[in-house]
Structure 1
Amino acid sequence: MSLAMSTTHDTEQQFSKTTLFCPTCEHASPIEGDWIMDDAVHRERLLCPRCGDVVVDQPST
């Protein structure tokens, strides 16, 4: 049982709180990582580099 707890703890440490996950293909990367910035809109929009799905879409500040 302690092995499962250790594995869970290791998995939690692998990703920081600034890691984004694509809901479509499960790609994961830090917010400063390989996400594609969509400059065609007047919003802060990040696209997944693997499948192109929108991961973040919010008004510009």
Structure 2
Amino acid sequence: MLKYTLTHPEILAALGTAGHGSQILIADGNYPFTTGSSPTAKRVYLNLTRGFAPV
């Protein structure tokens, strides 16, 4: 059971569907996801406005 303040629905869905052997990568905007990850990987963007992530 996850008991954190992390309530981003897409992240919770990805964590909920992950099974044994699944891999999860959390990276910042400088990660080369076009070449460093599978094209079928689920990508979740945290910023609500382009180029801006409220803290």
Q: Same fold (TM over 0.5)?
A: no
Greater fraction of residues in strand? 1
Instruction: Give the greater-gyration-radius structure (CA).
Output: 1
TM-score (norm: length of structure 1): 0.29
Q: 1 or 2 for the larger relative contact order (CA 8 Å, sep ≥6)?
A: 2
TM-score (norm: length of structure 2): 0.30
